[in-house]
Every structure is written in structure tokens, then in C-alpha cells.
Amino acid sequence: MGLYLVNYCYIIIIVLVLGKEVRSQSLKNGYYSASCPRAESIVRSTVESHFDSDPTISPGLLRLHFHDCFVQGCDGSVLIKGKKAEQTALANGGLRGFEVIDDAKAQLELECPGVVSCADILALAARDAVDLSSGPSWRVPTGRKDGRISLASEASNLPSPFDSVAVQKQKFEAKGLDAHDLVTLLGAHTIGQTDCLFFRYRLYNYTVTGNSDPTISPSFLTQLKTLCPPNGDPSKRVALDIGSPSKFDVSFFKNLRDGNGILESDQRLWSDSETNDVVRKYASTIRGLLGFRFDKEFGQAMVKMSSIEVKTDVDGEVRKVCSKINY
């Protein structure tokens, strides 16, 4: 769909990432090993329970984490409810997975009150969601604190399905993520879904003459028109990777290579020389090492993304309830 070290001393480091100042607190593997030893296993079992009931919760949790990190950093601010909170932003429409985070938080508050942040729960849940979808697993550095600010007005710069590659690069670079991270993280769309509303214009009214987007392969165009007729339900859900919609794999990149990308922002990755090289690498059996390269690099990109503008005790807290600040 988007993407730094210290320890308990809560040192604030100012680093320059692509000319932009980004504040980062160090994170640590096993941060809760002493204060809440079962923290990660509780999150895992909670995600697994919800996944067993509804496997589509996996892309929901991934998107929730992504949207959290791109606004105010990875601080759980997207979880806060309110009339002007991030959840109400147009770009955050359809966000899912809040009940999973709330469930895990309730269990953790019984186990070790006031210890595990909602931001960390979300980062762990996103990892577990990928793993449960036959994707990779990775160690998630923890130690984030929860933010106290959540404003819909600050969600206006979230990546959009209508963005050009240049705009996508700009938005990712603003968060310290490069073009390689961009392609790798968008690979999460291998288990994603979207509404007909966000791509139907490519099928019927892409130009003033009403033609279809020429980058869509003819056979796939017919398939998409069947799924999303011109006067059909704009909210109908369609898998972004029709070949293997519930399996986290490299099929998504092969689709882009073959002109079978659903979102224009995804398909355009094939047209840009810099992003094309990464797509080719993942789509290739040899260069992609049978999918192992993407698995490894996706985990690395997720760790990088989940370190964006991490809060410390100075400007954060550990919320008792994820949907509202403590005071």
C-alpha cells in the first residue's frame, strides 16, 4: 500500500535523512523480556485468533501500521478516537484491525499493566499478520511510546492510489525511505484489497475519449470489467493480487510485469526505471531467489519503516486504552 538505535536511556538523536530532520529513539529486540516476558506471545496469539476467524484481517493490520507510521511517526496515533483524529481523515477510510489491537492491549494490561505500548502492539501485530499469511517473519525492535496527538489534518500527505511514481518517491523520502523501500513495502499489496472506486476509471474513462488504461493487459482488462461493471457497486472489494489473494508472495510483482496491476500507482512502478529494476528483481525466479529475496528485504524494510519518528518518554506515554490518551 509505504517505511535507528538507542536503549533504555531515552536519548534523543537528531539524524539527517535525505535532508530532513527525523527524530528517532532507539529500539531494542526483546525490550519487554524482563518487564513483560509474554508480551510478544500474547500479541501473536491474539492476532492468530482473529486471523482464524477472518484471514482478511492481515492486510488490515498491515495497512493500519503503515498509516500510523506515515503520520506523526509510529506512535499509535491512528488508534486514537475523536472527531478530528486521524481515523476521520479521508485517506484513512476503511482502516481495519482496531479490535485486534484493543483485544491484545486488554490482555497485556492484565498481564503487565502500563508496560506495553499500543504502538509496539501494532508493529508486532503487523509482523504476525504477514507470518500467518505464509509470508516472512522478522524480529521487531520494540520500545516505542504512544503519541498524545492525533489530527486528521496531518494525514493529508499519506500515499494515494492516484499518486505518480515521482510523488510516491517524494512521500517516502520525506520519511527516510528510498525507492527500493517503496517497491518492497508496496509488495504488501500481495494480500491487500481495494474498492472498485479506486481503479474503475482505468477501465472505462481513462482518457477524454473514454478509453481504458493501455498499460492493462487485454485479458486482465476483461476480467476487471467483469468484476467492476461501469454502473456497479463502487465499494465492491477486489483483491490486489487476484492470482494468490491470501498468500504473501511475489505474485504481486509478476502481475506488474505482466500488466496485471490493479491500482495505477502500483502499475506505474513498472514504468519508472528505478522502481522497475526492483520489481524485475522480485518477479524473477533467479534474481528473486525463488521469493526468498523479497521475504528477507520486506522484513528489513518493515523494521526501517517502523522506526520512523519514534516517541520517547519525553513526548509519549504508554496508553492504558489504545483509543484514548491517558490524560
Instruction: Find out whether 241 is annotated in a ligand binding site.
Output: yes
Q: Are 71 and 154 in contact (CB under 8 A)?
A: yes
Instruction: Find out whether 68 is annotated in a ligand binding site.
Output: yes
Instruction: Find out whether 141 is annotated in a ligand binding site.
Output: no
Tally the C-alpha atoms within 13 A of residue 4's C-alpha that lie toward its C-beta: 35
Among 50, 65, 67, 180, the one annotated catalytic: 67
Instruction: Find out whether 100 is annotated in a ligand binding site.
Output: no
Instruction: Find out whether 147 is annotated in a ligand binding site.
Output: no
SS3 of residue 137 by DSSP: coil
The answer to whether 67 is a known catalytic residue is yes
Distance CA 306, CA 176 (A): 11
What are the grid coordinates assigned to 8, written together? 533504555
Burial of 222 (0-12, 13-18, 19+ CB in 10 A): exposed
Q: Residue type at 236?
A: K
Instruction: Find out whether 52 is annotated in a ligand binding site.
Output: no
Instruction: Find out whether 161 is annotated in a ligand binding site.
Output: no
Instruction: Find out whether 189 is annotated in a ligand binding site.
Output: yes
Instruction: Find out whether 249 is annotated in a ligand binding site.
Output: yes
Distance CA 103, CA 210 (A): 48
214-222 contacts, C-beta under 8 A, 24 or more apart: 215/259, 215/261, 215/267, 215/268, 215/270, 215/271, 216/259, 216/260, 216/261, 216/267, 217/258, 217/259, 217/260, 220/258, 220/259, 220/260
Instruction: Find out whether 159 is annotated in a ligand binding site.
Output: yes
Instruction: Find out whether 56 is annotated in a ligand binding site.
Output: no
Which residues sit in the known binding site?
A: 68, 71, 73, 75, 77, 86, 159, 189-190, 241, 249
Which residues sit in the known binding site for Ca(2+)?
A: 68, 71, 73, 75, 77, 86, 190, 241, 249
Residues involved in catalysis: 67
Which residues sit in the known binding site for substrate?
A: 159
Which residues sit in the known binding site for heme b?
A: 189
